[in-house]
Structures are given as structure tokens and as C-alpha cells.
Structure 1
């Protein structure tokens, strides 16, 4: 018989969230910790990770380990995992959340450097970290990998072409890695829509309001509204779910 409390309980588990010090990553870190997991908060800025870790430990009572790592640099990813295993001896959940989408004027102005940087952070890094973590999880008997994709992967706009291409690649990577690491390790993705994180403070509020008016829910999402899906995919509640891209976008057309 399905027991909801037991299925979503992450007590004794360890979860690593990249880009975990702010935005959607920070919301998922808090949700995972409140579900019982010890968490690893990784981003480029150690001080931000340390601040977030202190808040998580204070608010949830779980252990939170802050680590600095640039996911776009492959040589930093194995040391990141080594640090996780040195502290906890295990990793049960990986959330590939770190991402970036720099602005540009026109597509013909996109430099090779910008294109490569966007793909490194949004696709190459998540692939490599998932590949390394998935191999270790499989050797240990199981785990869950969650890639944070974007609605831009299937609804690309002129202003985010490299980012959209990277996220479309991440969707394909998700399915492929599910087959690579099954049956013991599950790999899924959340295709996130427009969420009102700290980044949204710089948006044109009137333009966004007009666009959000076309969403089925008529608004952007709160960061905590991605947490339920993340907990489902991280926990045994999704034990028969893998190779799936779950859309969480408020009904964007």
C-alpha cells in the first residue's frame, strides 16, 4: 500500500543542488532539507553558499555543506563529488540546476565565446556531473538525478537561442542517461517555465504582465512552486518514473 509520508521522506539521504544558493535552486534546497535530506549547496560563490547553508541548518536542523564549483568547468566536477563523498560517504539525489542565459542584441552578434559558455553551463556541465554521479550512484545501488530544463527548449524565442538549444540538448541527455543508468538510478528533468526569482526584478513588469496573461494560470510562478515536483522526482514516490521531462510552467502557450 502506498504511504505518502514514507514515500516522500528523504531522511538519511544526501542531495546535491548546483546553483543552490539562490532562485529555484535555493527553494529546492530548502524543500529537500525539510523532507529530511542533508544537502550540499554548490555554486560559483562560496560566500553565498555558506550563507544559504547557515540558513538551512538554522531553519531545518539538517546538515548543509557549502561548496564552490563552476559547473561549466569539467575539471571542477569530480573534485566536487569527491568533497560530497568525503563528507557524507554517499549521494542519493543530484539536482542539475545551475544555468545561465546572457543577453545579446541579435543572433548574428552572438560570439563563439558566449555560445560556448552557455552550452558549457547548461548542457556540457550537467551532462558530465550526471555521468560521474550516476556511475557512483549505480555502483552504490541507486539514486535520482534531476535536470532543470526550460520551456525554452520547446518554445525558443529569438532572445535565447543558445540557451534554448542547450536545454533541448539537456532534455535529450535526460532520456539517454535514464537508459544508461537504469534500472537502479532514475534520471528525469523538470522543464521550468517563467518563475519570479531575484532575476525577474530587472524585467519590464508591464511587458511581463501582458505575456503572463496568456498563461493558463495567468501569472509567473513562485520559486517554491517547483519544489513539489522536485520532491516527487527525488523520492521513492516516483519509483517508476524515469527518462521523463515534466513541464512546470503554469500553462504557457
Structure 2
């Protein structure tokens, strides 16, 4: 038998929940996991879109994928999502806390207290609640993992996205603490995602000019990211290939900002 260098990236027998998985980065993660052999539940606020995406991925990969409507800020929706996943597939071994969103503001000090709290509930607290609901099944699973969609703005100043960046910074610390808590039982990592152009930017309030600027980032690779760039990192961390990686925040951002000390 020849050596299979990619065998550890297989996810056969794994059962994954991907929140915010109906489109963009979440869809790419769900598709990549399914293509690697996992059974996947796509949880999304848009239930119809989740089901349609699930059907399209299953048709392409041949592995079972389902979709469910889930508002991750509501505990009853989270529990229903986990219950339906266990009912359909027999457990949960892989959790991807991908859902997240932020709004742009001209004046960071004008952000309302309600907006700050709602951002925390969506981007941070939802991951903790999903983890709690999945814990009984993760503790029974082989290669149990939780991988989070963080953001580069959770580690660098982003005053125009102050609520979102603060919530993502909190996510980094929260999940690092949980990685230490679970230790040998569940591997937990967070991917710090850079500029990946998706439909979410327009919804977040960035106009065409702002999106054009984002599409030409001053990073080491010289390009904006694609959803598949991020999904590949998630596959590494969630599959047995990443079995010696836990408690890490890993940057997938095109190499970060390119620093030029003298003008060109």
C-alpha cells in the first residue's frame, strides 16, 4: 500500500455543525468538510437558504448534508439545531462557530449600548452557547474539535467596526480559555480571517468605493482572500491533520499588512 500524504485530512465518520453556513465562508467550509467525508448540518438564520445550500453540496460531494434554520442568539434554536443533528447523524464531533457580522460606524463613540450588546451576543456569546449545547456529544467523539471564525480586526485597531472588533477580540479570549478547560478532550482553535470579499460587506454598510479598496489589500500576497482560502485552514484544524494544534489563533489574511519604510 502506498503512503497517502492527504489521509489525515479526511473527515470520514465526523459529524459537523457549521453555523452561518448557507453562503460565503460558511458555505465553503461546509462544502470542504463534506468533500472530505464528513456529515454536515448547516445552521443559518435563513432556513430556506441553508436547505438549498445543503442540497447543492450533497449533490456535488455525495455525502449527507442537511440545513436548518437557527438564530444563534436564541438558546432554544441552538438546542434544536444540536438535537436535530444528533437525530439525523447520531452525534456531533465537529463544531464550527462561523456566524458573525458587524456594522460600520463613522463615530465609534456614537455606537449605542444596544448595538454593543447585540454584537457581543452574535459574535461571542453564540459560540459559548453552541459549545455548551454540543459538549455532551463532543466529549464522546473521536477527534472532537471546535473551530471559530475570528477576525483580524479582533487583534488590530478597527475603530470604524468598534462593536464587531471588540466582540471578536472577546471571542479570541473566550475560546482560548475553553481550550484550556477542555484540554485533552476537545481541540479548540480560532482562525483570524482577513479581507475576504463576500456579499456581507455591502450588508455591513461598505459602499462600492470601500469594497474596491478592500479588493486591493496591501498585504504580502497582494490580493483579497477567497472563501476557499479560509475553508482550507478550517479543514486542517478540524481534521486529524491538525491533531497537535489546540488553543491557537491562526491568522489567514494574506500575510497581514505589508510595511514599507520608504516611498516607492
- Normalization by structure 2: what TM-score? 0.89
Q: Distance in 1 between matches of 2:248 and 2:135?
A: 16
Equivalent residue number for residue 14 of structure 1: 15
CA deviation map 1:56-105 (0-9, x unaligned): 11111111111111111223212211111111111111100000102334
Q: Distance in 1 between matches of 2:139 and 2:254?
A: 34
What runs of 5+ residues in structure 2 fail to find an aligned partner? Answer: 258-264
CA deviation map 1:119-148 (0-9, x unaligned): 101000111112332343114455110011
Equivalent residue number for residue 242 of structure 1: 246
Equivalent residue number for residue 226 of structure 1: 230
Alignment CA distance shift 1:201-1:229 (3 Å): same
Pairwise CA distance, 1:216: 1.1
The runs of 4+ residues in structure 1 deviating greater than 3 Å are: 139-142, 200-213
Equivalent residue number for residue 88 of structure 2: 87
Q: Secondary structure at the match of 2:67?
A: strand
Contact 1:54 1:64 in 2 (8 A): yes
CA deviation map 1:130-177 (0-9, x unaligned): 233234311445511001100001113111111111111111112111
Equivalent residue number for residue 163 of structure 1: 164
Q: Secondary structure at the match of 1:148?
A: strand
CA RMSD, 1 decimal = 1.9
Higher normalized helix content (fraction of residues): 1
Alignment CA distance shift 1:207-1:69 (3 Å): closer
Number of residue pairs the alignment of both structures matches? 253
Equivalent residue number for residue 63 of structure 1: 64
- Structure 1 position 98 matched with structure 2 position 90: no
Equivalent residue number for residue 30 of structure 2: 29
Q: Distance in 1 between matches of 2:82 and 2:47?
A: 16
Give the stretch that moved more between structures: 4-13 or 234-243.
4-13
Pairwise CA distance, 1:209: 5.0
Q: Distance in 2 between matches of 1:172 and 1:197?
A: 26
> Residues 149-228 of structure 1 correspond to what in structure 2 (within 5 A)?
149-200=150-201, 203-204=206-207, 206-210=209-213, 212-228=216-232
Q: Secondary structure at the match of 1:101?
A: coil
Q: Distance in 1 between matches of 2:5 and 2:172?
A: 28
Contact 2:143 2:240 in 1 (8 A): no
Contact 1:21 1:48 in 2 (8 A): yes
Alignment CA distance shift 1:91-1:243 (3 Å): same
CA deviation map 1:206-226 (0-9, x unaligned): 555556342111121011111
Q: Distance in 2 between matches of 1:204 and 1:251?
A: 25
What runs of 5+ residues in structure 1 fail to find an aligned partner? Answer: none
Q: Secondary structure at the match of 1:67?
A: strand
